[in-house]
Structure 1
Amino acid sequence: MEQTKEEFFHDFRQELLSSAEANGSFFLSEFMEKVANELIETGFSEGFEVCHFRAQRGMRVDGYWFDDEGNLALFIADFDNRVELTSLSRTEVAVLFKRLISFLEASTNKGLAQSLEVTSPEYGLARQIADRIDSIYKVNLFLFSERSLSEKIQELPNALVAGIPVTHHIWDISRIHRQQSSKNHKEALDLDFVQMFGKGIASLPAHLTTHSYQSYLMVMPADVLAVLYDKYGARLLEQNVRTFLQARGTVNKGIRETILKEPYMFFAYNNGITATAQSIEKSVTDSGLVITKIVDLQIVNGGQTTASLFHTKKRDKADLSQIFVQMKLSVIDSQQSDVVVPKISEYANTQNKVNAADFFSNHPFHVRMEGFSRRLWAPAKSGSQRETRWFYERTRGQYADQQSKLSLAEQRRFKAEHPKPQMFTKTDLAKYENIWDDHPKWVNLGSQKNFKQYAERIGREWEKSSDSFNEFYYKRAVARAIIFRNTERIVSNQNWYNGGYRANIVAYTLAMLGEITKRKKESIDYLKIWNEQEIDAALENAISTIAEAVNGIIIKPPHGISNISEWCKREACWKQLTDSAELITNKILPKFFSQLVSTDNILERRKADLTA
């Protein structure tokens, strides 16, 4: 039975309180990150940085993100830890957006930044807006609310601030509920071509009536694709294509040359686009069949073509009126989409340099991790008799889907065996692993770029030795998750922590922990953490010591760098930290080092698991 809006609000709030307690974070920060993750997973935003700032002059901001395409996202919260679901009025919406716009306006010159503490997140944001003002193409304002809109309004009219187009997006509890309750756990992208462009798109049917799906060949005007990409961005792209689109923010040189020099040859030279939809509406005109509406459009191949058309028009002022693109559209029933759409995307992308199979949810690596998570019981924590499992969410929404057909008693049992705090996703796994094994810089670049890097690495390693991804690998990954989540709690509870840059501090603290142990040719005893399902006092003390040192280093970037979050994304930041590794090592208590195990011991355990 589907949850009511009130039931969803209650569960959402309880999960929020539980995760805030576990992570040692403020309720507001936890709320913002929880909703932001929903938007990142579904393509509404590429990333999110916490930045809570309120001023007497009516300014407010709670988070931001700059992407590679000249877009700035600013976030504001309507959150007061309310115990009952209440209504949010249009007037209150207008007031909240006005505060966000006031911050944006005050930041467009260096006046606001000059009045702020230089190590604060709000200084970095205000200064970066001022420095980038000429290259910001669009500003998306997001309002996150724990209330439900009293009127059917999800967006407000566009505006201009300092000559920059500004759009408004409202994510109230009702919209979050709809997204999580939908079949694909995302908000469908529905297009009405007649309403948007005055006419439908020419097409030819390319299917037999006996088939369980429909296919159409469409001739898409390049201007239409550019407008759609401008309006919807990454939401147009199927998740794997969105994550793996090569060179975000850049233009394919061959495509650009054709657009500018031989636009009339574009249709002949370009391979076209492959897309899927849940349903369509069509009509017959004097010139033939046209598609007038598409429900849940997803481009599964041709993302770079689409992005390049948009960027060439934007940057080179290119005329796209004579350019048309072939699009193969497959209409897939929503009941089959979870299985069929990834296969279409996989087969359509096999010509790419990165093997598409390396990153799809049904790749054997993800299937194997899922198998371990469903089979292996995690030992009971000290003081508890109940063993639990860590739930690996191989595809979006699995955790909720597995409970949807259970009775209330069965749901309670499922949650007891698979506690929500022990659910982790592919992007979570990529974060836990890359911090230790690859490079912490990737984690600071955002979850999608980090996952891309992780998947490419795992794809190569899987080809060399798939057997190495065994039970030990899985248990080590869970142990790293335990360390990561405890580090978030530890950092939040430190007297020196001022509420900013926690994600950066956590990533570099654990990377430094790995670097320090690696230099001693030793390692954390991951199996000990797996067996105890917690970290001990010696490791907790080492983490707090390293975190304080890391914080002291990253908040003092070199001269000329004003934004600390941006500094943390640079190679030079990691080098500055590793140059201080010996000084940090000397501050750690000896008991921590006495509990480490040799690297050889770890390798032997992993090999033993290979032959078990």
Structure 2
Amino acid sequence: MQIEEFLSYRKDIIDSSKDEEGFVQQTLFLSQILPLMVDAKLLDSEDWNDSYYLNPSENLKLNGYTVNESSERLQLFIIDEKSIEINATENDLQISTKSHYENQFKRATKFLDKAIKGYLNDEVQDADPIRPLLSQLSSSAGADQFDVLEVFLISATATIETRGAMPQPKRIEFDDETITISFTKNREQVKKDLLIIKKLIDLNFLYNVIISQGNRESLIVDFESLFNFKIEVIKAAEEENFESYLCVLPARILSELYKRYSSRLLEKNVRSFLQFKGVNKGIRETIRESPEKFIAYNNGITITSIAKELETINGKTFIKSLTDFQIVNGGQTTASIYFTQKDGFPIDRVKVMAKINVALDVTEEGLDTLISDISRYSNSQTRVSSVDLSSRSPQLSRLKALSDSVVTPSGKKWFFEKSRGEFNTKLRIAGSNRARIEKEYPKNYRFSKEQLGKYYTAWGEQPYVVKKGGEKVFRYFLEEITGETRGRKANSVNRRFYEELISKIILFKELERIYGQGKRALGQIRSAVIPYSISILYLYTDGAKLGKQFDLLKIWKKEKLEDDLAAFFNELMKLMNELIKKYSVSDDFGEYSKNKNLWDNISNSHEIREFMTSATSQDILNKYAIPTNEYKVLEQKEVDFERIQMNIDILSKGMEFYNELRAKYGGLSNVQESKLDIIVSSIIKFEDLSEEMIRFENNLMMELRKNRPEIFDQIDIKQNYLLESTLKFIVLKYNQAIENGIDLIDFFKTIEKKSVAEKKKYTSVFSTIALNLSKGTAPSVKDVELASNYFKEEASDGKVNGCSSESSQKIDLNILKKMVEWDSRMRILTRGELNYLAWIIRIKLTP
């Protein structure tokens, strides 16, 4: 069954990798995969250099590469192109042999061997995207820079074990390789071994990242097998769910750990905040002058894990391995030891004090909280931000609520995927209504929290941070809106903020379209040119602080770039292509664009000044400028529709959905059963669910998604979208009134008058809704249910005043009987409600 899930996921990711003509593109496929690898902590950033190289005669291939944040690790990507073919069969996609993948890896490792030896230098043109990499690999500078070459084979296949009645997923590990190289450093000939690590990124891996909601892949460090070393420890504390050990680690072990795993060793709050280029001066001096005193001078490191393997020898306790290894304090120490050794200083006499905390039987959320607290309270070497990088951030929750409620001028909504896989789950629950959801939220109207950081940060003066991507740019975004940077007040995440945010997203996406891809592109450094170009416009408008700002809401209202603004950016991006090449001190333009010096040189260049002061540019600046004193935040008290939206999402699934779920899932605890009964009761009575019940339902859906996702396909219950469409209608009218400055009570009064004229029921509910909206309060479930009477006749054609809907379900006899059976346990229906049910059943049974 799990193999079927892998292949089902493959279909989704292949569909997302198609170009406008319906062909699967390797570049689009890789762009889908890299954010998941960032989630798993395999990469620092989803940014990569597209440098496709293929030599079939010599069996060489490479799709692209990136260099990690601390610059010592070259990470290369190769795609198994046959695995992404649309007509591939299930047999083609189920791989059981290690040799299949080894043959693919050889294409990349042979490429590396020839590139390092300089054999490929004469085969490519200077303008070829692979040229910078070939030049670096074959040079002494590259030989000195890189210690690890990490090859990722990305294959849209399921890796299986065929022994047994049914195929089962399996994991294949690949042996490391080494290449001995010699190069010139400081006029001396130097030899060293390059470590080549091979990692398979298959459907098994990708699916596990998706269902884990982006939680890290546990790092298991086996000290004995990797380093022929066991850590002698003393147990310092033992509680019910917690153990603590003290030990002394040789510096060479920390250096080898960092070489093999790099920043993956470090807890994400620390990893995304620290800068690793360069070595702490104090640490370097101590290692060089007094290595034996290092343990006395240094504060040591703190490690967390969730499991350990112990061994006792002659009364001494040793740790052989740790599971989910993370350094939460001492990251700078670890990195500095590695780079000091890399610079040629011996570390064999250096020892480091370490505390190892083992958290037992904790949830992922509980472990995150523990790690965050440890890093906050114990990290004294470098300030560590307290901003929450997880999806639990209240600012992200507010943005999610706004995306669920704010409608664009054309009547569309954007889907903010606050948690990885959220949209996919929505599709599966929709079942036969999947096409309706996909039409309502087309691919270009969705964005993730990782993309959010990039889109937001581009509108500023740090395009090099956008290029770094990953947690670096996401942290910058969160620190900006929470006000943690420079001690500012937190931004108001309100309707105005959201509309401008969507404008920034539209701007970024439109520039991606204008720049193009492949042979039709303006150049080959799109991921750098776009944020640099946007930042130039910001620099000459909001950033100039001349009493004017760029009116982003013009983009919001048009939902695209007007022709003159598009033409302006087309010319600016052409110029930016040339300036990045001109002012880069490296021929690897993509990597160098992560450097602040490049931005400083370009933004202050005479070419940019001449372009931005030209008549055409000045026309654009004047047209889209708005005086700062007119730039006011909306005074209307805004309505938070999050709670009612979540209620309607649950109620729209229907009582039968939850009863089917109960029957198919099985194994629910008594508490879970009782909470499901409350949800079913609320569906019948049209009552609002509490926050606790909404949270329970969300967690239950997550549990299903992780453990039994096939149940979503097995429950074939057609959802009733009447309530959802009614709420959309209410939100749409609210948005129209706000956009046009119309009084809410007067606006909804017209709807009420129309309903009275058409002899609808419960017409006064529109006055109630309008009054609450004007006070900043969302309607209740009962309000929405009463308002839906206005649309019941119109809903038969699947639409409610422009809002997509399905016709309301016919009353099913089996459902009615189950309602009576259910009440025999719960005893919450009134006598009148039971009599009504009995009357309906009699009518249904009457021939």
SS of structure 2 residue aligned to 1:580:
helix
SS of structure 1 residue aligned to 2:272:
helix
1:302 shift after superposition:
1.0
Distance 1:150 1:542 in 2: 53
- Whether the 8 Å CA contact 2:40–2:209 is kept in 1: the answer is no
Aligned to 2:314: 286
Render the CA deviation track for 1:344-402: whole Å, top value 9, x for unaligned.
Answer: 323333x3553521464489xx422322322444654576x554443445xxx473798
Render the CA deviation track for 1:125-181: whole Å, top value 9, x for unaligned.
Answer: 212223333312221122111123467523233131645332222212222223333
Aligned to 1:62: 63
1:204 shift after superposition:
3.2
1:323 shift after superposition:
1.6
Aligned partner letter, 1:87: Q
Aligned to 1:139: 149
> Which moved further from structure 2: 460-469 or 269-278?
460-469
Matched, 1:103 2:111: yes
- Unaligned residue ranges in structure 1 (runs of 5+): none
Distance 1:87 1:208, change over 3 A: closer
Aligned to 1:41: 39
SS of structure 2 residue aligned to 1:14:
helix
- Please list, as runs of the form range in 1=range in 2, the aligned pairs for 1:374-389 lying within 5 A after superposition: 374-377=401-404, 379-380=406-407, 387-389=413-415
Q: Among residues 173, 176, 180, which one is paired with 2:203 in the alignment?
A: 173
Q: Among residues 112, 126, 131, which one is paired with 1:123 in the alignment?
A: 131
Render the CA deviation track for 1:588-608: whole Å, top value 9, x for unaligned.
Answer: 599855751315167433899
Distance 1:352 1:469, change over 3 A: farther
- Unaligned residue ranges in structure 2 (runs of 5+): 162-170, 182-192, 639-775, 777-847
Distance 1:198 1:268 in 2: 26
Aligned partner letter, 2:28: E
Matched, 1:52 2:52: yes
Render the CA deviation track for 1:54-88: whole Å, top value 9, x for unaligned.
Answer: 23553321111233342222221113433355135
- Please list, as runs of the form range in 1=range in 2, the aligned pairs for 1:341-356 lying within 5 A after superposition: 341-349=371-379, 351=380, 353-356=382-385
1:503 shift after superposition:
0.5
1:232 shift after superposition:
1.5
Aligned to 1:314: 342
- Whether the 8 Å CA contact 1:156–1:169 is kept in 2: the answer is no
Distance 1:544 1:608, change over 3 A: farther
Q: Among residues 451, 454, 479, which one is paired with 1:431 in the alignment?
A: 454
Aligned partner letter, 1:272: G
Distance 1:105 1:202, change over 3 A: closer
SS of structure 2 residue aligned to 1:474:
helix
- Please list, as runs of the form range in 1=range in 2, the aligned pairs for 1:191-210 lying within 5 A after superposition: 191-198=221-228, 200-209=230-239
Matched, 1:76 2:78: yes
Render the CA deviation track for 1:509-559: whole Å, top value 9, x for unaligned.
Answer: 32233345456965443234345544444443333332233224434557x
Aligned partner letter, 1:255: I
Aligned to 1:540: 566
Aligned partner letter, 2:142: I
1:28 shift after superposition:
0.8
SS of structure 2 residue aligned to 1:76:
strand
1:37 shift after superposition:
2.3
Distance 1:25 1:435 in 2: 30
Render the CA deviation track for 1:466-520: whole Å, top value 9, x for unaligned.
Answer: 2555443333223212221222222116975277222012222322333454569
Distance 2:376 2:533 in 1: 37
Distance 2:367 2:436 in 1: 30
Distance 2:143 2:403 in 1: 54
Matched, 1:244 2:273: yes
SS of structure 2 residue aligned to 1:185:
coil
Matched, 1:369 2:381: no
1:189 shift after superposition:
0.7
Aligned to 1:29: 27
- Whether the 8 Å CA contact 1:149–1:172 is kept in 2: the answer is yes
Distance 1:597 1:237 in 2: 44
SS of structure 1 residue aligned to 2:63:
strand
Q: Among residues 542, 553, 556, which one is paired with 1:527 in the alignment?
A: 553
Distance 2:513 2:30 in 1: 17
Distance 1:186 1:583, change over 3 A: same
SS of structure 1 residue aligned to 2:524:
coil
Matched, 1:154 2:173: yes
1:331 shift after superposition:
1.2
Aligned partner letter, 1:45: L
Distance 1:475 1:292 in 2: 54
Matched, 1:472 2:496: yes
Distance 1:289 1:160 in 2: 37
Q: Among residues 91, 94, 97, which one is paired with 1:87 in the alignment?
A: 94
Distance 1:605 1:596, change over 3 A: farther
Aligned to 1:340: 370
Matched, 1:230 2:259: yes
Aligned to 2:693: none
Distance 2:238 2:259 in 1: 35
1:198 shift after superposition:
4.5
- Whether the 8 Å CA contact 1:479–1:530 is kept in 2: the answer is yes
Normalising by structure 2, report the TM-score. Answer: 0.62
SS of structure 1 residue aligned to 2:386:
helix
Distance 2:2 2:455 in 1: 35
Aligned partner letter, 1:153: I
Distance 1:512 1:182 in 2: 39
Distance 1:23 1:265 in 2: 65
Distance 1:160 1:327, change over 3 A: same
Distance 1:453 1:382 in 2: 30
Overall identity of the aligned pairs, in %: 24
Distance 1:391 1:41, change over 3 A: closer
SS of structure 1 residue aligned to 2:343:
helix
Aligned partner letter, 2:538: G
Distance 1:147 1:546 in 2: 42
Q: Among residues 186, 196, 199, which one is paired with 2:216 in the alignment?
A: 186
Distance 1:465 1:149, change over 3 A: same
Q: Which has the larger radius of gyration?
A: 2
Distance 1:23 1:564 in 2: 30
Aligned to 2:588: 563
Q: Among residues 217, 221, 230, which one is paired with 2:246 in the alignment?
A: 217
Distance 1:573 1:255, change over 3 A: closer
Distance 1:72 1:374 in 2: 40
SS of structure 1 residue aligned to 2:245:
strand
> Which moved further from structure 2: 256-265 or 566-575?
566-575
SS of structure 2 residue aligned to 1:354:
coil
**Alpha-carbon RMSD:** 3.9
